[in-house]
Amino acid sequence: MDLEFKPIALSDQPIFQRYLSQCQHVTSDYSFFNIWSWASAYDLAWARTDDFIWLRQNQPLPQYWAPVGNWQAVDWPQYFEYFPQFKSEMVRVPEPLARIWESVFGETVSVVPDRDQFDYIYDANELITLQGNRFHKKRNLLNQFKKNYDYQYVEMASDCVSAAMALQNNWCTWRECDSDDQLANENMAIAKMLSHWENIDGIIGGCLLVKEAMVAYTIGECINTDTLVIHFEKGSTDYKGVYQAINQMFVEHAAADSGAGIKWVNREQDLGDAGLRRAKASYHPVEFLKKYRVDWDPAKNR
């Protein structure tokens, strides 16, 4: 059966969230905000069946992502008979679904872990308190920031957007985003999210000001009742400890605003970037949400 794939619009959020709430395991990729903000970079489109939302990227090459919905509620062999087009190479497949398919289809499917896509999960309380020898360097840098600068933490709001975009533009000039496809795409995703800030339901963020000048910002969301996802985090390296400060303060305020609900922080994947991997490891993740590449032509991976 053919399905019509269409662009992802902000107005699709309620429908998407209904399907996402049925997933037994939600990684950062499948946040609506992540999909919507990065849609142009990956040329993402979506189609809906009774059971699932399907995502297809066309850049840098055509591939399907995992279906969004209740993975345990369908007869997979029968489902793929009805929708044979989905029985092809898939990326970003969360581990529980990969194991379901491996169990059902055995050697007719290839399931390969994609380490570059693993989500880093942290204990929220550890990121707030930074207690113990493991966090000595982080705690020291945070304290230096607090001591050295006349700072103020504020929640991201519409009146902060222009300053956040100015900081982002400066950051991109410093990092030469135009010469790096990944950074250029990220910049485009950030600009899209900030420019629609007032119209996005559920997005949260924080900003650090020093003498009223914005020196850091972060954007995230509560992806479920106990997990905060941090999508973007940028700071000016002219201020020592700025990243440690925005990370600690944002998690602390988000946890306080949600009551006792936030237990975990998902800081997304490292995409195979060695610097990002070191930075994420330095905060001592307690778990990885593993994702897999799944191919219905196992011969490709032999």
Domain-wise residue ranges, the chain = 6-118+290-301, 120-268
Measuring CA to CA, which residue among 289, 271, 251 is closest to residue 96?
Answer: 289
Rounded Cα distance, 205 and 163, in Å: 13
Q: Which of 103, 99, 18 is nearest to 66 (CA)?
A: 99
* Tokens 């222009």 found at: 162
Binned at pLDDT 50, 70 and 90, residue 242 comes out as very high
The CATH number of 120-268 is 3.40.630.30
- Strand order of the β-sheet with 287-289 is 151-155, 204-210, 213-222, 227-235, 264-266, 119-123, 287-289
Residues 193-213: tens digit of each pLDDT: 999 999 998 999 999 999 989
> Which pTM value belongs to this model?
0.94
* Paired residues of 2 in beta bridges: none
Which tens digits make up the pLDDT trace of 18-73? 999 999 888 999 999 999 999 999 999 999 999 999 999 998 899 999 999 999 99
CATH 3.40.50.2300 fits 6-118+290-301, yes or no: no
Residue (of 137, 175, 173) closest to 275 by Cα position: 175
